[in-house]
Amino acid sequence: MKYVIVAMLICFAIGGCHAQQKPSFKIQKNNNTLLWEISGKDLKQPSFLFGTFHLLCADDIHFSDALKEAVKESNEMYMELDMDDPSTLLGGMLYMNMKDGKKLSDLYTPQEYKKLETYFTDSLNAPMALLQRAKPYFLVALIYPKMMNCPSPAGVEEALLKIAKDDKKEIKGLETIQFQASVFDSIPYEWQAKELLKNIDSFSVYKKEFEDMLRLYKNQQLDSMQNLVSASEFGSDKYDNLLLNDRNKKWVKELNEIMKNESVFVAVGAGHLSGKYGLINLLKKEGYKLEPLANLQNKIEKDIITKDTKSEKELNVNKTKNADSIINKKIYPGSDTILTKMYINGNKDRKILSVEISSGKNLFAVIEKNKNENIRINQIEMPDSTFDGPFGDSLHYKIKMPGMYKIIIGPDLMAEGKLSGNFILKVWVK
């Protein structure tokens, strides 16, 4: 999964604007955002750092007003590659092949190669004859659409390019396709081949992990994304320096020079943002100030944040410890928001709010808690007994059928902080 973060994950952007023209950006109270402002260190104007995902369902690609303003006020947009240059695409086709005439059949036993050939031909409609010399890592990208629950995956970078072009911004790349190809050539093809086969053999596990990563990305939880990657059975941290850390350090050196003269918006994989050697921390070490910016993408998300709360007297207090506690409510569009005050007592405690829904299109839930409490919406159980999750501090779920929906709250074991404490759960339907 770690190399997935490199090949497809997420993007960081730096966009700046002149001080006198700079719009007012709101600071995000926690670090759950993909949009960061870079200032300080004698910069004449700030830049912005934004994380993207390589592929999303087309309906999930939305950009906030704040991001659009950051692009508008910047002078140029930087991505990992110059995505506006036709030679990048042509180079990608040229450099996707292994060196020295290596073929995939050289890396597998006859039985393994037959399994690979059958999977790509039958499941992906991709004849192996056309892919015989491709680097195994590159072939992982062909599996991504199979993991997505939509017919039309789309590229986040392409959507960003449209915004930049509409604002007449020049697009540049931090790397060349030749350099990226050399990175993958530095990782033994035999090891890549084993990882590709492992992803196919463990597709259901890999798909679940991929879905978790997508969900965390849409919730803008960068730290939780990194924790998921660290805990993954796919990939290996022995190549982190090649795939992530060394590239991050190289980019920071380039940005030091670029940002002296102009404001830029840089978009690179979100896997490059967090962690000890992530761009956020490396830029801070260089003396820059990085602030998380509110990145509300649409009206629905703004509704989640701004929904009015009731007074403490109106809250239902529940402090049952060391056991699941279940609260049952009925809710419908236009009814009052359900507010329930609950208490989580350690890593094994769970709380469940069951809401009976007879009509409406969207179910919303928000957790209000102290900053140091790692409590989240773990899952939602649908009326047909299927589950979805994990989520973060908030949930927006499209209602597919009437019936009882169970919102399951628990500690976030993949993050640091307190695993117990009081919190308020707000739920409503539209």
Neighbouring residues of 35: CB distance < 8 A, sequence distance ≥ 6: 13, 48, 49, 50, 64, 66, 67, 70, 292, 293, 294, 295
pTM of structure: 0.69
Buried b (16+ CB within 10 A) or exposed e, 230-260: eebebbeeebbebbbbebbeebbeebeebbe
User: Which of the four pLDDT bands, split at 50, 70 and 90, describes residue 9?
Assistant: very low
Amino acid at site 195: E
Q: What is the pLDDT of residues 221-279, one digit of tens each?
A: 888 888 788 777 666 677 888 899 999 999 999 999 999 999 999 999 999 999 999 99
Indicate the range of 96-110, 201-215, 298-312, 401-415 predicted with least confidence.
298-312
Helix segments in 202-289, DSSP class H: 203-218, 222-231, 240, 246-261, 279-285
Tokens of 425: 């759960």
Q: Report the first-to-last Cα separation within the chain, whole angstroms.
A: 36
Using the predicted structure, report yes or no on whether residue 197 has a pLDDT greater than 50.
Answer: yes
Listed residue (358, 362, 360) closest to 304, CA to CA: 362
Give the pLDDT score at 351: 82
Using the predicted structure, report yes or no on whether residue 414 has a pLDDT greater than 80.
Answer: no
Query: How far is residue 214 from each of residues 114, 200, 209, measured CA to CA in Å?
Result: 31, 19, 9
Backbone phi and psi for residue 66, each to the nearest 5 degrees, phi listed first? -65, -45
Give the pLDDT score at 329: 66
Using the predicted structure, report yes or no on whether residue 91 has a pLDDT greater than 70.
Answer: yes
Using the predicted structure, report yes or no on whether residue 133 has a pLDDT greater than 50.
Answer: yes
Using the predicted structure, report yes or no on whether residue 318 has a pLDDT greater than 70.
Answer: no
Q: Do residues 55 and 61 make contact, with C-beta atoms less than 8 angstroms apart? A: no
User: Which of the four pLDDT bands, split at 50, 70 and 90, describes residue 120?
Assistant: very high
Query: How far is residue 4 from each of residues 141, 146, 182, 246, 332, measured CA to CA in Å?
Result: 8, 14, 17, 17, 41
Mean pLDDT, to the nearest integer, of 287-299? 83
Mean pLDDT, to the nearest integer, of 357-366? 84
CA distance 295 to 182: 35
Q: What is the pLDDT of residues 322-353, one digit of tens each?
A: 334 556 666 656 566 677 777 777 767 788 88
Amino acid at site 116: L
Tokens of 56: 């999303």
- Domain extents in the chain: 2-297, 300-429
Q: Which CATH number among 2.60.120.380, 3.40.50.2000, 3.30.365.10, 3.30.1050.10 corresponds to the domain 300-429?
A: 2.60.120.380
Q: Percent of the chain, pLDDT > 90?
A: 36
Q: Do residues 363 and 399 make contact, with C-beta atoms less than 8 angstroms apart? A: yes
Tokens of 163: 């915004």
Most confident of 244-248, 372-376, 412-416: 244-248
Give the pLDDT score at 328: 63
Which DSSP letter does residue 53 get? -
